[in-house]
C-alpha cells in the first residue's frame, strides 16, 4: 500500500534522479524545442518533494499537481500536473493507494493528459509512454510492477526514435526528428527509473 | 523602450498595488496577483471570475466591481496567470452559489483555468462552469468559430453576465446568459503601431510609418491585409462589413456597438470612426442601444482600434442597461 509518506520518499528519489539527468534531458529537448525540459522536470519534482503532503492521498496528489504548476508553467509541467490531478480525483478520501489500482490511475492520467494537451497516441509524446505503461501494468504481478513499467517506458522511447514527432514545437522538425529520442518520453523513463529504490 | 516604470520585473505588481491604493472602495488584492471586490464575495450570489495577462486595462482586473466581476487572476504582461492564482480567484469569488469562469479563448488560459476549476472543486467543493469569448472574427474562419480568440466582446460578457448574477440568477442561468452573450458578439481590430512588453523591451511587431494592418490581433497576431493607411470612413466601413458578413444585421435589429481604443488612439479618432458606423447602421435601419466609445480593452500603448457589435434581445438589453460600477466604468 502506498501512503503519503511513501509518495514523499518516491518524489525525493525522482527529484534527485531527474536532477542528475537534467543535462541529458535539456540537450535532448534542445534538439527539438527550447532546451529547458531537464530544468522543468527536476524543478517540478524538487518542489513536490519539498511539499508537506496531507494524509488524504487524493489531496496529496493534488498538492503535487499544484507544486508542479507553481514552478513550471511549461506545457510538460502542466501535463504532468494534469496527470497527478486525474489520479487525485480517483483517490480523494483514501489514505492509501492500493497497488492493484495503479494501472487504472496511470490510464486515467493518460486520458486526462490527452484531453488537455489535445494529443493523440502515436504523436511521439509522453502520452505514448503512459499508454504503454498502463497496458503493461495491467497484467503485471505486484512485485514486478516497477520493472515492468521501466521496461515499457524504455521500449516506447526506443520504438519511437525511428518515427517523426507529430505534436507541439517538435512537430515543426518533421522528418528531421526521426532518429532522435523524444525528450518527453525520455524524461518519463528517467522518472519511472527513479521509483526503483 | 521609453516607459514610465521602475524595474520591468516589478511592472505588474507595482501597477496592481497602485490600482488598489487608488480605488480601495472597489478593489482588494487578498492574494498576490488576484484582484477581488473590496467588499468580498456576496453570500448567495453566483461568482464570476476572469483572468488573463496584464497590459489590457481596463480588461481584465478593471472590471471587478458591482454588477460586473467578482475576482480576477492576472499574469505578467500578455502572459497567462497560473492555475493556482486562478483557483484562488475562484475561491475568493465564491459566495456559495457556484462560480462562472468567463474569459477569452487563449490556449494557455484555457489549460490553466480548466485546471483551476478542478482544484477549486476538489479543495473547496465549489461548482464551476465555463464560458469562453471567441469574438475576433479574423482569428479563424466561421466554420471554426470555436477556435477564435476573445477580445473586446469580453466587456459585454462581463457586463451582461455580471448583471444576471447580481440580480440573483443561479449558476446555470448566469452561464446560459453568458453563453448567449458570447455568441452574439463579433469583433475586429486594426492597428497602426505596436506596443512594447516591458520585460521584452522590444516592440511586439514592426510596421511601416504610413501603413496600417486590418484585422490585427491585440497581441500583434497577423491580420488580413497591410497597406497604406486609409481614411477613417473607409476603415470603419470595412470593419463593419466584415462583422456583418459574419453576423448579418437587418432592419429592426437592436445592437450595441463598442468602438474601442487599443491604447494610444485618442477618443477624437474613435468618434470619427463611430460617426461613420452610426451613419451606416442608421441607413440599414439597425437600432443602436448604449453605444460605447473609449478605452475599454487595450494593448498597452498600441495605436489602433477595435469595433465590437453585439446583437441584443430584450433580456440582454435590459441586463446591459442594469447598474454597474467599477473604477473604469459606470452604468
B176: which 3 cell numbers? 446560459
> Is 70 exceeded by the pLDDT of residue B297?
yes
Beta strands in B33-184 (DSSP E): 34-37, 47-54, 71-77, 99-104, 128-133
Closest approach of chain B CAs to the CA of A89, in angstroms?
A: 7
Do B240 and B96 belong together in one domain?
A: no
Across the interface, of B108, B111, B123, the residue whose CB is closest to A62 is B123
B128 and B120 in contact (C-beta within 8 Å)? yes
Nearest to B14 by CA among B33, B28, B31, B27: B33
Do B116 and B176 belong together in one domain?
A: yes
Residue B23 among the catalytic residues: no
Coil, strand or helix: which one is B186?
strand
Q: What is the pLDDT of residue B200?
A: 84
Contact A70 B84 (CB under 8 A): yes
Q: Name every residue whose Cβ is closer than 8 Å to that of residue B208 and which is 6 or more positions away in sequence.
A: none
Q: Which stretch of A14-23, A67-76, A95-104, A105-114 has the lowest confidence by average pLDDT?
A: A67-76
Do B172 and B28 belong together in one domain?
A: yes
Number of domains in chain B: 2
Q: Single out the residue in B154, B184, B214 at which a domain terminates.
A: B184
DSSP secondary structure letters along B252-293:
T-EEEEEEEE-BSS-HHHHHHHHHHHHHHHHHHTPEE-S-EE
The answer to whether residue B284 neighbours chain A at the CB level (below 8 Å) is no
Model confidence, pTM: 0.87
Coil, strand or helix: which one is A80?
helix
| Residue range B157-175: mean pLDDT, rounded | 98
Neighbours of A172 (CB within 10 A): 11
Do B210 and B111 belong together in one domain?
A: no
Q: What is the end-to-end Cα distance of chain B in Å, rounded? A: 37
Q: What is the pLDDT of residue A167?
A: 81
Do B39 and B143 belong together in one domain?
A: yes
Q: Name every residue whose Cβ is closer than 8 Å to that of residue B244 and which is 6 or more positions away in sequence.
A: B309
Instruction: Please tell me the distance from the alpha carbon of residue A167 to that of residue B33, in angstroms, as a whole number.
Output: 32
Q: What is the pLDDT of residue A73?
A: 64
Does B318 fall in a domain?
no
Chain A residues whose beta carbon lies within 8 Å of the beta carbon of residue B112: 69, 73, 78
Do B32 and B149 belong together in one domain?
A: yes
| Residue range A192-196: mean pLDDT, rounded | 93
Find how far residue A68's CA is from the centre of its chain: 12
Number of domains in chain A: 1
Instruction: Please tell me the distance from the alpha carbon of residue B319 to that of residue B178, in angstroms, as a whole number.
Output: 11
Q: Which CATH number is A185's domain given?
A: 1.25.40.340
> Is 70 exceeded by the pLDDT of residue A136?
yes
Q: What is the pLDDT of residue B3?
A: 94
Q: Which CATH number is B68's domain given?
A: 3.40.50.10440
B294 and B267 in contact (C-beta within 8 Å)? yes
Q: Which of B78, B119, B144 to mutate to test the interface with A (most CBs of A within 10 A)?
A: B119
> How, if at all, do strands B211-214 and B303-311 pair?
unpaired
Do B146 and B242 belong together in one domain?
A: no
Do B170 and B245 belong together in one domain?
A: no
Q: What is the pLDDT of residue B108?
A: 79
A89 and A65 in contact (C-beta within 8 Å)? no
Chain B residues whose beta carbon lies within 8 Å of the beta carbon of residue A78: 83, 111-112, 115
Chain A residues whose beta carbon lies within 8 Å of the beta carbon of residue B76: none
Contact B119 A73 (CB under 8 A): no
Of residues A32 and A137, the one with the higher pLDDT is: A137
Do B33 and B175 belong together in one domain?
A: yes
The answer to whether residue A87 neighbours chain B at the CB level (below 8 Å) is no
Contact B122 A69 (CB under 8 A): no
Across the interface, of A58, A81, A92, the residue whose CB is closest to B115 is A81
Contact B122 A78 (CB under 8 A): no
Neighbours of A173 (CB within 10 A): 15
Closest approach of chain A CAs to the CA of B117, in angstroms?
A: 11
Query: What average pLDDT is seen over chain A?
Result: 91
Place of cell 447598474: B323
Do B85 and B179 belong together in one domain?
A: yes
Do B200 and B247 belong together in one domain?
A: yes
Query: What average pLDDT is seen over chain B?
Result: 95
Residue B56 among the catalytic residues: yes
> Is 80 exceeded by the pLDDT of residue B311?
yes
Domain that holds residue B223: 185-313
Contact A116 B123 (CB under 8 A): no
> Is 90 exceeded by the pLDDT of residue B179?
yes
Of residues A79 and B29, the one with the higher pLDDT is: B29
Most confident of B110-114, B124-128, B222-226: B124-128
Q: Which CATH number is B291's domain given?
A: 3.30.1180.20
Put simply, the chain B residues between 80 and 139 with a CB less than 8 A from any chain A CB are: 80, 82-84, 108, 111-112, 114-115, 118-119, 122-123
Q: What is the pLDDT of residue B302?
A: 95
Does B202 fall in a domain?
yes
Amino acid at each position: 500500500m502506498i501512503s503519503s509518506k511513501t509518495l514523499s520518499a518516491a518524489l525525493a528519489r525522482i527529484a534527485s534522479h531527474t536532477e542528475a539527468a537534467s543535462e541529458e534531458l535539456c540537450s535532448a529537448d534542445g534538439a527539438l524545442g527550447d532546451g529547458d525540459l531537464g530544468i522543468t522536470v527536476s524543478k517540478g519534482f524538487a518542489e513536490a518533494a519539498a511539499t508537506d503532503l496531507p494524509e488524504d492521498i487524493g489531496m496529496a496528489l493534488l498538492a503535487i499537481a499544484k507544486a508542479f504548476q507553481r514552478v513550471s508553467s511549461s506545457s510538460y509541467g502542466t501535463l504532468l500536473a494534469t496527470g497527478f490531478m486525474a489520479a487525485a480525483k480517483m483517490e480523494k478520501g483514501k489514505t492509501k493507494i492500493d497497488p492493484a489500482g495503479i494501472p487504472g490511475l496511470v490510464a486515467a492520467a493518460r486520458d486526462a493528459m490527452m484531453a488537455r494537451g489535445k494529443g493523440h497516441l502515436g504523436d511521439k509524446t509522453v502520452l505514448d509512454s503512459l499508454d504503454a505503461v498502463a497496458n503493461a501494468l495491467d497484467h503485471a504481478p505486484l512485485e514486478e510492477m516497477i520493472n515492468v513499467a521501466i521496461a515499457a517506458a524504455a521500449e516506447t522511447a526506443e520504438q519511437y526514435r525511428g518515427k517523426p514527432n507529430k505534436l507541439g514545437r517538435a512537430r515543426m522538425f518533421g522528418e528531421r526528428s526521426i532518429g532522435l529520442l523524444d525528450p518527453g518520453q525520455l524524461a518519463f523513463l528517467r522518472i519511472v527509473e527513479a521509483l526503483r529504490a | 523602450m521609453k516607459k514610465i516604470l521602475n524595474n520591468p520585473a516589478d511592472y505588474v505588481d507595482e501597477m496592481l498595488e497602485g490600482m488598489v491604493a487608488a480605488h480601495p472602495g472597489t478593489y482588494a488584492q487578498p492574494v498576490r496577483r488576484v484582484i477581488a471586490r473590496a467588499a468580498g464575495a456576496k453570500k448567495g450570489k453566483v461568482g464570476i471570475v476572469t483572468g488573463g495577462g496584464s497590459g489590457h486595462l481596463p480588461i481584465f482586473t478593471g472590471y471587478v466591481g458591482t454588477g460586473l466581476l467578482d475576482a480576477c487572476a492576472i499574469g505578467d504582461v500578455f502572459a497567462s496567470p497560473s492555475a493556482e492564482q486562478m483557483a484562488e480567484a475562484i475561491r475568493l469569488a465564491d459566495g456559495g452559489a457556484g462560480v462562472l469562469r468567463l474569459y477569452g479563448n487563449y490556449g494557455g488560459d484555457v489549460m490553466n483555468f480548466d485546471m483551476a476549476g478542478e482544484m477549486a472543486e476538489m479543495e473547496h467543493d465549489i461548482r464551476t462552469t465555463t464560458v469562453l469569448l471567441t469574438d475576433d472574427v479574423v482569428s479563424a474562419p466561421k466554420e471554426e468559430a470555436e477556435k477564435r480568440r476573445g477580445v473586446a466582446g469580453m466587456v459585454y460578457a462581463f457586463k451582461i453576465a455580471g448583471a444576471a448574477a447580481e440580480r440573483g440568477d443561479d449558476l446555470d442561468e448566469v452561464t446560459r446568459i453568458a453563453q448567449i452573450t458570447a455568441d452574439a458578439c463579433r469583433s475586429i481590430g486594426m492597428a497602426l503601431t505596436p506596443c512594447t512588453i516591458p520585460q521584452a523591451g522590444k516592440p511586439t511587431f514592426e510596421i511601416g510609418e504610413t501603413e496600417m494592418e486590418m484585422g490585427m490581433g491585440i497581441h500583434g497576431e497577423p491580420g488580413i491585409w497591410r497597406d497604406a493607411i486609409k481614411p477613417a470612413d473607409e476603415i470603419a466601413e470595412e470593419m463593419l462589413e466584415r462583422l456583418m458578413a459574419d453576423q448579418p444585421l437587418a432592419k429592426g435589429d437592436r445592437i450595441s456597438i463598442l468602438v474601442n481604443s487599443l491604447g494610444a488612439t485618442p477618443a477624437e479618432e474613435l468618434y470619427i470612426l463611430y460617426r461613420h458606423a452610426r451613419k451606416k447602421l442608421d441607413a440599414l435601419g439597425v437600432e443602436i442601444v448604449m453605444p460605447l466609445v473609449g478605452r475599454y480593452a487595450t494593448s498597452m500603448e498600441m495605436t489602433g482600434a477595435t469595433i465590437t457589435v453585439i446583437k441584443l434581445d430584450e433580456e440582454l438589453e435590459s441586463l446591459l442597461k442594469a447598474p454597474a460600477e467599477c473604477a473604469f466604468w459606470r452604468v
